[in-house]
Structure 1
Amino acid sequence: MSQYANYPSLRDRPVVISGGATGIGAGLVRHFAAQGARVGFVDIAVDEGHALAAELQAEGQSVLFTPADVTDTETFQAAIAGFAASHGAARVLVNNAAHDQRHDWREVTPAYWDERIAVNLKHFFFAIQAVAPGMQAAGGGSIINFGSISWMIMTPSIPIYETAKAAVHGLTRSMAHELGRDGIRVNSLVPGAVMTQRQRDLWITPEDISAIQAHQALPGLLGPDDCARMALFLAADDSAMISGQHFLVDAGWANT
């Protein structure tokens, strides 16, 4: 990663990341740790989370993993408190955890609706609630909420996911106002079609890749690193006067 920017303000900065064991989340953990940040992350992928933390710890990086289901608010907030006890109160929160499970709108039940909203939106708010007092006491911080271009391009078969991701924009704008006077910045990072292993295994076909290439303005395929580099900028002091904004990392696909 030496060809990319280094952010001195991130060294020793406590960072909390949800869904950090695999995919985009693992990319976030690796990049923040490489900057010298003190990273705490949660995930339900226990084996992968422990393996990633052990790998980075062996390299001398300050990384902690706590198994936690973000839909269990009490457990999730307790994990955040545990990271604060070890690393200091979070100065950066990356709300990344989500799940784009396909579903037929005609078969959605109230229970399924609530479960999907819990996975894709609810925990963002309660993570903010958990870290905000520490950021206020420290004089500021950065909160990065992961959205998606899916609702902008009307991706089929994920209407609840798209509803939640559209709502992330409202949450970002409202909390940017609520917390801004305390020096806390709140922004959305909005990925396009990121080629994680999970996406390749479950959803992406060769035909999909061709369609993605046709829609993007830039050639090539997005990876977790592309999202992580934007997250680093939004977390660092370099973005000190940016808040309430939505940053698309989609190779020029969505038209907002």
Structure 2
Amino acid sequence: MGEHSQQLMSGAEAAELAGSAQYPSLRSKRVFVTGGGSGIGADIVSAFVKQGAHVAFADRDAAASRSLLAALEGTGKQAFFVEADLADIKALRGAVQAAADHFGDIDILINNTANDARHAFLDVESDGFDALMTINLKTAFFAAQAVMPGMLRRGGGSIVNLGSTGWKNKVAGYPVYAACKSAVNGLTRSLAREYGKHNVRVNTLTPGWVMTPKQLAQWVDAEGEAEMDRNQCLPGRILGSDIASMALFLASTESRMITAQEFVVDAGWT
């Protein structure tokens, strides 16, 4: 791990940064976050909890998710965890229903679940292709489908689909992931057009290279550090809290006339 990543702020400091702006319109809103147990998802969950929202999140990593719940207990705010493998669409729908049963119909959906596992184009088989398509695109589609009836009953809502700069930067080594993440913008724009008349807003939030524990452990090395220094317009490193801060804005009424758009948080790389 390089010098810049070693100087990253602590998790507690990052949590303080995320949601430092207050959005009264988010108080008591019902939020559902896919893949909220760790990484960017956990930062998003924490940020919405700090705003006083009722936050449900689903993840298959029960240990990480319970650890997050324990960390949030002292805030006096509400969070609700549903253990589910979101690649199983029946389980995904069940998780959304459990969240709605607990808090009520969902106002805000953050489609965060993804898997950027590297894979060689010539080695991809049909089953592997389908598995990557499911976690990187199909879950976003069906999570949006699952929350939409509740949003219509409540007279509106906000869906934030997480994209990726990987395909924009022509990163090699994960062609199925790249194809899925490029397709997220199509999903966003289609749903925004169809459901805008019902006051449902849909936007894409596209992170750059975020210094999550997974990225730091698996991919960030001296070469990666140099690449960030060379390509980012801004110095420093992107944190999950930076992504969470944009998610708060896109979910709040401060962005009430914004839909069908993509917001890139990548320190100016693309």
TM-score under structure 2 length normalisation: 0.92
- Give the one of 61, 73, 76 matched to 1:57: 73
SS of equivalent residue, structure 1 residue 175: helix
- List runs of 5+ in structure 1 lacking aligned partners: none
> Which letter maps to 1:222?
I
1:248 maps to which residue?
Answer: 264
Q: Give me the whole-angstrom Cα distance separating, in 1, the residues matched to 2:209 and 2:258.
A: 25
Cα pair 1:89 1:131 within 8 Å, conserved: yes
- RCO comparison, higher one (Cα < 8 Å, 6+): 2
> Which letter maps to 2:158?
S
Q: Give me the whole-angstrom Cα distance separating, in 1, the residues matched to 2:98 and 2:127.
A: 31
- Give the one of 172, 177, 199 matched to 2:215: 199
Deviations 1:44-74 (A, max 9, x none): 1110101211321343110001111111111
SS of equivalent residue, structure 1 residue 168: helix
Deviations 1:126-185 (A, max 9, x none): 001110111111111000000001000011101110000000010000010111111000
SS of equivalent residue, structure 2 residue 258: coil
> Which letter maps to 2:132?
R
SS of equivalent residue, structure 2 residue 25: helix
1:68 aligns with 2:68: no
1:92 maps to which residue?
Answer: 108
1:36 aligns with 2:52: yes
2:161 maps to which residue?
Answer: 145
SS of equivalent residue, structure 1 residue 156: coil
Deviations 1:6-41 (A, max 9, x none): 000000000000111111000001000000000000
2:239 maps to which residue?
Answer: 223
Cα pair 1:143 1:235 within 8 Å, conserved: yes
- List runs of 5+ in structure 2 lacking aligned partners: 1-15
Cα pair 2:50 2:75 within 8 Å, conserved: no
> Which letter maps to 2:127?
A
- Give the one of 174, 181, 184 matched to 2:190: 174
Cα pair 1:20 1:41 within 8 Å, conserved: yes
SS of equivalent residue, structure 1 residue 89: coil
